[in-house]
Structure 1
Amino acid sequence: MERVHEAILISSVFQELESGKNRTSIKFLAIGDWGGLPYPPYITAVQKASAQEMSKVAEQVGADFVLALGDNFYYKGVDSVDSPRFKSTFESVYTAKSLRIPWYVLAGNHDHIGNVKAQIEYSQRSNRWKFPAYYYELNFHIPNTHKTLTIIMLDTVMLCGNSNDNSNKQPKGPLRRTEANRQLVWLQERIARSQADFLLVAGHYPVWSVSEHGPTKCLVQQVQPLLVKHKATAYLCGHDHNLQYIEESGVGYVVSGAGNFLDPDVRHWNHVPKGSIKFFTGQASTMGGFVHVEVAQDKMIVTFYQAKGTSLYRTILPQRKLD
């Protein structure tokens, strides 16, 4: 319980970025569902290819940090802070110098089968693994501008419940309703109070998705209205193992769940708002993928990359216009 309150206390701190004289933007990568395998070789071809391409993009285009969008360890999370999986799935895969940057982590449904607290504790052992609490807020000054970026990191499994992947079920509702309500109240307060020029919310489950899991009803009911009302710039997630971009009511919905497996399933194509689907790929031939985001003075540029080394889709979102 203490950790949750801690999230509220630390939330208005600004993260330090290296500020070069000429830079006027923040750049980061977003990848979900990247969590390897619990048995040898502990890594999939998709994870390996995505890690290599991430390192190239980070080196050539630039990246200040990575958002790790959950399902960090397949299939049952980790059991303790001493788990060898931290090394086999994380430290020894993302080895490039360009990826030795902060990784801001949130938990997915597979992480919650194991011990999420152990993942939070691992922050004390790694100089790049940053997982301060189940849910938390990140604030950044965009260098050499007067603009700010806020990223609200959610635990959508605590909020909505766990989903049974094998039977393609929606989350059944939170295990601990009090915890879920506390997080929702915290989100309502943070999002309503935010004066950031760019406001992002990130979670594991999608609000909108055309793929296997489809829209998450609990998030469509509880989070989507907040995003629209408070003019959030975008919502980032994983869970479905592909890349998607959906735009609805002025909010961008980024699905980046292609870090370890690929799934071309589009069974929920007609279950998202009409005309909202802008981009989708889950083809095995891409070898995986991720998203690169650049938050500049007056716009946010989102680029979807395939692990094979080309950008597939790019979109630009404006800064928030607060009344």
Structure 2
Amino acid sequence: MGRRLRTLVLLLLIPLSALVLTWWWHVPHGPWLIHNQPLAGQKICVIGDGGWGNDASQAIGRALVTLQCDQVRYLGDLVYPSGIQSVDDPLLKARFLDPLKPALDAGIPVYLVLGNHDWKGNARAWLTLARQNPLIHFPHYYYFEQWPDACAFSLETTWLEKWYYLRRQGNWLDSALNNARQHHCRFSLGFAHHPLVSSGSHGEAGPNLQLSLNDRLFGRLDLYLSGHEHILSDEGSYQGTRQLISGSASINNDLGLPSQEQRFTRATHGVLTLVLHDDNGTMTADYRFYSVLGNPREPLITLLWQGDKVGQGIRPAP
């Protein structure tokens, strides 16, 4: 009887293992979003880590309207401390929807990537939310966008940090980079939660993430924008890719050692804006960091730092 039971269990484990391995090595295809209007001339406002729903995040929401943003890129840690369990989770309204209400009421679309804290809850709930709200865009955990003059990769870097990453997102990204190059993308952007290097207290990315970003993105993209560190920072260029951090939409953390190419860093609540210009085929991004203090006795928005980056599109792999 014991031998029959062991045989039966073995026979059941074989197809189950095959199914698990099929899922494990499957490479899901992140969707491609095609925009018909050029990106040049649009103001992109970039925020991150606003998930406490506090006075600072409420002030950020108002600033998005004052700054006349055409779109918002929200770079993860959408609800602290442990994400949401469903679209009916009261924290979703209190810590995400309420702070963004001024922007959503103004018709400003919001594009999401998830942060590491969002994965502590039910990450699929964010997909459901996006299906229910036409102004919230989150078609997949990672996705590609193409405009007539530019392209962008929204990434799931929490996966890149973990051992279970393997090939799932990497193969998709290789294919998307090659296709974007063939479509003559003239300015390239990466939106993600985790930075490669940082002058904040978290410091450099872990070895798995460093390997993925160095191998696939840095040296190939024009701009890489991230949160995770609760600061505003222009970390300079690495292999020709400029890295900017905007992760202070609700809290600030201490500064760490300045990165090697650091140009500007401030531990204050704020937002990053980005406007692309097309000058006879040459794409240039003008970016600006603003503090957003939320103190009614002080100016809501103060310009802290600005810079620019001339685009080269998607450069070939080294």
* TM-score, with length taken from structure 1: 0.79
CA distance in 2, matches of 1:111, 1:228: 25
Structure-2 change in CA distance of 1:304 and 1:84 (3 Å) = same
1:100 positional shift: 2.6
State the one-letter code of the partner of 2:94.
S
Q: Where do 5+ consecutive residues of structure 1 fail to align?
A: 37-42, 142-147, 162-173
Q: Percent identity?
A: 24
1:16 positional shift: 4.6
Counterpart pick for 2:35 among 8, 12, 15: 15
Tell me the residue number matched to 1:152. Answer: 153
CA distance in 2, matches of 1:259, 1:216: 21
1:228 positional shift: 3.6
Counterpart pick for 1:313 among 295, 305, 309: 305
Tell me the residue number matched to 1:294. Answer: 275
1:73 positional shift: 0.5
Tell me the residue number matched to 2:85. Answer: 79
1:124 positional shift: 1.5
1:99 positional shift: 4.9
**Range with bigger deviation, 198-207 or 215-224:** 215-224
Structure-2 change in CA distance of 1:252 and 1:184 (3 Å) = same
Tell me the residue number matched to 2:245. Answer: 255
Tell me the residue number matched to 1:233. Answer: 222
Conserved 8 A contact 1:233-1:320: yes
State the Cα RMSD in Å. Answer: 2.3
1:198 paired with 2:160, answer no
Conserved 8 A contact 2:82-2:120: yes
Counterpart pick for 1:137 among 118, 138, 144: 144
State the one-letter code of the partner of 2:167.
N
1:227 positional shift: 2.6
Tell me the residue number matched to 1:5. Answer: 28
Return the index of the structure with the highest Cα Rg. 2
Q: What is the count of residue pairs matched by the alignment? A: 275
Conserved 8 A contact 2:229-2:247: yes
1:14 positional shift: 1.2
**SS of the residue 1:115 aligns to:** coil
Mapping of 1:111-190 within 5 angstroms?
111-141=118-148, 148-161=149-162, 174=163, 176-177=164-165, 180-190=166-176
1:96 positional shift: 2.3
1:24 positional shift: 4.9
Counterpart pick for 2:234 among 245, 255, 259: 245
Q: Where do 5+ consecutive residues of structure 2 fail to align?
A: 1-22, 294-300
CA distance in 1, matches of 2:88, 2:194: 27
CA distance in 1, matches of 2:245, 2:289: 10
CA distance in 2, matches of 1:156, 1:278: 24
Q: What's the CA shift string for 1:119-168, capped at 9, x where partnerless?
A: 11111111211111111111223xxxxxx12110111111213xxxxxxx
Structure-2 change in CA distance of 1:306 and 1:99 (3 Å) = farther
1:46 paired with 2:56, answer yes
Tell me the residue number matched to 2:50. Answer: 34
CA distance in 1, matches of 2:28, 2:167: 13
State the one-letter code of the partner of 1:261.
I
CA distance in 2, matches of 1:291, 1:101: 16
State the one-letter code of the partner of 2:92.
F
**SS of the residue 2:51 aligns to:** coil
1:212 paired with 2:201, answer yes
CA distance in 2, matches of 1:100, 1:188: 34
1:262 positional shift: 1.2
**SS of the residue 2:193 aligns to:** coil
Tell me the residue number matched to 2:66. Answer: 56
CA distance in 1, matches of 2:210, 2:66: 35
Structure-2 change in CA distance of 1:205 and 1:24 (3 Å) = closer
State the one-letter code of the partner of 2:28.
H
1:212 positional shift: 1.2
Conserved 8 A contact 1:4-1:134: no
**SS of the residue 1:277 aligns to:** coil
Structure-2 change in CA distance of 1:91 and 1:267 (3 Å) = closer
Tell me the residue number matched to 2:15. Answer: none
1:294 positional shift: 0.5
Conserved 8 A contact 1:6-1:133: no
1:193 positional shift: 3.4
